[in-house]
Structure 1
């Protein structure tokens, strides 16, 4: 029904791509929440000079907010082309940017706890995993642009959908690979330092409750993003107008809810406070760490 511009007896809501009026309350909550996360990440990023982290999280959270703004527009008019384009492009790309912020952490964890048991050089972690993130984002961006331009053209919608599906699969592969590499490093390092002291900076962080909370937060955010991506695969595979795509509750829980959890955790446990190694101020902070370490020379914490 390409001629439809408003819901009417001749153009029922069931004729739209999603087949429903997006829930105003839920989408307004996500729109406002992600706007708050955007501001918080911007302020914290400037305060602690976590520039790369800030760029990824601010853009990711802002795109989530814009995407849900598009769904609010579709609540007023499910045939709203502008709202459709906003939400399809922003909500498909934003999680990849939040995922990229998590990828940044592994390199710095390896530097802190020692590179000896890492199978690859720390700098390569960023190139490999951020590179896969970029590939995923580009594929999804192209697919989202095609789908957005083909709102009234089923053929273009399907082409865009298939490209976005490929991009999400690439992201899932990247996430699983990241988890395996991280687990391998942690296990090898735990074994290596079971009976001998950690490097000084690693010894400080292993005692730090803030660092432990940061690890919990990153693990939780990673898991939430992975769940969202896994949900998106059958949703996109079902095509436009498929049963999963027309179920708003599953979307709100498994996409919106999961990314909300990820953004919330990455905001309340910001690395500027919980893992300063990611901050451009880390040299100054490490001097403070060394001063504190000198007071505890007799302690030799290990992974045991």
Structure 2
């Protein structure tokens, strides 16, 4: 049986049988798959180097972990190009590519919390720590749902597989809702910052204390942080990354909701562009516009010498 399966490669399947034989309903293009594995590997090596150089250790359980997940997922697709009918690599790539960007989002939540510390927490509806605590906790919940659903989806019973897909869909829908709320809060923050309209009378200010800023209560009449060129670049990069991951989440939600035999999951270009390209561009953007460089001012957080 295994010999027969291994012999069924893309070139040996008639075009009119591809939809039925391949769990993807198409044959993944091998050179595209290899290209994404190489691209994710390169950005991963660069991210590891940047995290070590700038001592941004939070990037390892977030960005680096996400990149490892992407490489695993695309490796599953590469395996599928060699063994088209096999279900194992299909489920492997499905689960990995759905789950992988989740820890990456956590890094964006942390970065925005640090940006708020720099510009002034008085404009934020949440204090900076809550961005990390609340949204990263929500991210973990989404990750657990997706991982649990992925485990069920890898089963052999049709009912179990369907339940797994539904749970994964719930996880990614929850994640989409969390990102939407996050984007609204960020938009409100920058509107208030630009118009200098503080949201509260009691906020938290960051003061230099080694590598870890300490939070101390102060009044809304405190200084307004300066948005210099480097900070503008980081804000642009973080917003661009969030938009890319938001687009990708919408696509994966539609894909899972459309079902195993839907047109969305059966169209390769959708996956390559709306998942692979979106996630890679997000990771590459963080390589170029890195918080390790752009969030290290020559002065203190609130512009004091």
Equivalent position SS for 1:166: helix
> Residues of 1 paired with 2:13 and 2:139: CA distance?
44
Query: Which residue is 1:120 aligned to?
Result: 126
| 1:78–1:198 Cα change, 3 Å | farther
Shift of 1:84: 2.1
User: Does structure 1 retain, via aligned residues, the 8 Å contact 2:23–2:87?
Assistant: no
Asked if 1:47 is matched to 2:67, the reply is: no
Shift of 1:117: 2.4
Shift of 1:114: 1.5
1:169-221 superposed Cα distances (whole Å, 9 cap, x missing partner): 00110111000111111111222279xx9848x32xx12x2222211111111
Q: How many residues align?
A: 276
> Residues of 2 paired with 1:198 and 1:190: CA distance?
16
Equivalent of 1:184 in 183, 188, 209? 188
Higher helix share: 1
- CA RMSD between the two structures: 2.7
Query: Which residue is 1:173 aligned to?
Result: 177
Shift of 1:149: 2.7
Equivalent of 1:218 in 224, 228, 238? 238
Equivalent position SS for 1:5: helix
> Residues of 1 paired with 2:152 and 2:5: CA distance?
20
1:128-148 superposed Cα distances (whole Å, 9 cap, x missing partner): 111111111110111111112
> Residues of 1 paired with 2:143 and 2:237: CA distance?
23
Unmatched segments (≥5 aa) in structure 2: 199-220
Unmatched segments (≥5 aa) in structure 1: 277-285, 296-304
> Residues of 2 paired with 1:100 and 1:144: CA distance?
20
Shift of 1:112: 1.1
Equivalent of 1:143 in 144, 149, 155? 149
Please, what TM-score do these two structures have when normalized by structure 2? 0.83
Matches within 5 A, 1:255-294: 255-276=275-296, 288-289=298-299
Equivalent position SS for 2:130: helix
> Residues of 2 paired with 1:270 and 1:188: CA distance?
25
Query: Which residue is 2:250 aligned to?
Result: 230
Query: Which residue is 2:210 aligned to?
Result: none
Query: Which residue is 2:27 aligned to?
Result: 21
Shift of 1:64: 0.6
User: Does structure 2 retain, via aligned residues, the 8 Å contact 1:172–1:229?
Assistant: yes
> Residues of 2 paired with 1:214 and 1:263: CA distance?
13
Shift of 1:294: 7.6
Query: Which residue is 1:5 aligned to?
Result: 5
> Residues of 2 paired with 1:157 and 1:14: CA distance?
19
Matches within 5 A, 1:54-73: 54-73=60-79
Shift of 1:159: 1.3
Asked if 1:99 is matched to 2:105, the reply is: yes
User: Does structure 2 retain, via aligned residues, the 8 Å contact 1:244–1:250?
Assistant: yes
